[in-house]
Chains A and B, each alone.
Chain A
Amino acid sequence: MTPETAYVTPDVLLAPLDPAYLADETPARTGLRWSAFLSADALPRAATLLLQAGWHLEDICGLDVREGLMAVYHFDRMTSPGRLAIRVLMDRAAPVLPSIADIHQGAEWHERETADFYGIAFTGNPNPAPLLLPEGMQGHPLLKGEAARAPLAALLAVPGREDTVLRKAEGFTLLDPAEDAKPAKPAKARAAATEEGADNA
C-alpha cells in the first residue's frame, strides 16, 4: 500500500480480471498512459489490486453516451506516475455500480457526486446522500437529451490517436467507428448565437 511498492504495469495487474479492452496510450496526446474497459463486477477487485500496487483514485467522471451511461475512473501513482482510465459501461435503464469506497475511501465523495449528476447508484456507498445538489432535487443535470448523445467511438476512437491495443475481447465493438460520427447537437445553435460574445473575449 505504500508508494514504494514495485511498479507492475496495469496490463499485467489487471490481466486476471480479463478486461474487454486494454490499451497502451500516448500521454502527449491524451494525458493517459493506459486505458481499459472493465465489467461492473470486476471493479472492486480492480480497485483492490490497484490500491495494493500503490495507485490512488484521481476522480470519477460520469459520461452520457448513445450506448448507455459510463463511469470513467482515473487512477495515478505517486511514484512512477502514468494515468490509467478504467471505463465501465452501464445500462441506461438501471445504472448501478458497486461502490469502491470501502477500498479507496476517497471514492465516497466522487461516487456521490456522480450519483448527483448522472443518477448512477453506487451500491455499498456508506453515505449515499446528495453531495453537491440540494436534497430532494429531481433530475440529474449532466444527462443529455437523446438527440445530443454522441456514440462513444466519436469521443474516444478518433483518427491518429495511435493507441497500442494490448487486449481486445471478441465482440468488443464499442470503439469501432460509428456510422454517423457527428450527431445533431442542440448546444451548437446556442453557441452560434453567442459567437459574437466569444469573439470579444
Chain B
Amino acid sequence: MALPIIRITLGFMYFSAFLRRVVNMPAKMIPSSPAYVGGKLITFIPHAWLIGGLLEYTIMHPAFLYDFLVAWTVLEAVFGLFLMLGFMSRLSGLVIALLAWGIGLGAAWIGSTCLDEWQIAAVEGAAALVFVFAGSKWLSVDQLLIKKYPNGLKIGRWSLPLW
C-alpha cells in the first residue's frame, strides 16, 4: 500500500526533467544555446568512471550528442510518467534504475554540498529497482491490468511480468 509514496515522487524526478527541457526552458535542447544540456557531459569527463571514452566520443560528435539527449529525454519522460501512473511498473523501475545508475557513472563525482549526484544515482537506482520486484498494486494502472491479465504480457508461450 505504501509504495506510491516513493513511486510517484521517483517518477516525477524523471518526468520533470522532460518538463524542464521541453516545456519550461526549450533552450536546454537547442545546441547553439548556452543553456544546452549537452554541455553537462563535458563537466562529467574529468573523473567519470568506466564511461569517460564514451562521453568524449559523444561530445566530439555533436549530431550524435543531440540524438543521445533526445533519446535520453524521451526515456525519462515516458518511464517517469509510467512510474507515476503505475503502468508497467516492473519494466519502468528497471529502466529508471539503469538511467539513474548510468548517469551516475559520469556525474557521481560532482556535488559540492553533499556528494549530491552520487546520492541521487545510488538512492534513485536502488529505489527504482524495488519496483521491478514489488510492482504496483494500490493506486496504479497495473492493478487494473493484473485483474485482467494476472500473468503479465503473453507473447506466444512466454509471459512477461511487466506489471
Instruction: Note whether A and B form a binding pair.
Output: no
Chain B positions near chain A (C-beta within 8 angstroms): none
Binding site for B on A (CB under 8 A): none
